[in-house]
């Protein structure tokens, strides 16, 4: 099923997009990287919220969604400051972001394999 592959595919595209943006030598490559990055976020983030809805206890979905939304916004506000403290270079900051999303990709693949292992065991 395609919807099962959206989570790893989205984070793969985000990581690839960050790598392309970091290494872009011209406007066309920068635009391609931004397009790939945007598609990746567009695929991965909605799936993440759906996954939260599926995995949270039924009586705690609103609380879980609120906590995740707050933490995502705090992360968006703080991460540029942390990356800037680590390196003042924009290129290195983008590469660090790419590496973090590559780590998220590894988690997404492990999650995908674990879910399908459970599904095949119960089938």
**Does 107 score more than 70 pLDDT?**
yes
Task: State the Cα–Cα distance between residues 65 and 16, nearest whole angstrom.
Answer: 28
**Does 114 score more than 90 pLDDT?**
no
**69 or 108, which is more confident:** 69
Whether 24 contacts 4, CB under 8 Å: no
**Does 73 score more than 80 pLDDT?**
yes
- Min mean pLDDT across 33-37, 41-45, 68-72, 113-117 is at 113-117
Chain-centroid distance, C-alpha 18: 11
**Does 123 score more than 70 pLDDT?**
no
């Amino acid at each position: 099923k395609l919807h099962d592959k959206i989570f790893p595919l989205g984070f793969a595209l985000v990581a690839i997009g960050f790598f392309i943006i970091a290494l872009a030598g011209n406007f066309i490559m920068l635009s391609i990287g931004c397009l790939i990055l945007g598609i990746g976020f567009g695929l991965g983030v909605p799936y993440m919220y759906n996954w939260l809805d599926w995995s949270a206890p039924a009586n705690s979905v609103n609380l879980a969604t609120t906590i995740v939304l707050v933490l995502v916004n705090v992360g968006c506000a703080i991460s540029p400051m942390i990356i800037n403290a680590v390196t003042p270079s924009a290129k290195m900051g983008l590469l660090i972001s790419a590496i973090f999303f590559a780590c998220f990709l590894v988690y997404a693949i492990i999650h995908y394999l674990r879910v399908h292992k459970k599904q095949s065991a119960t089938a």
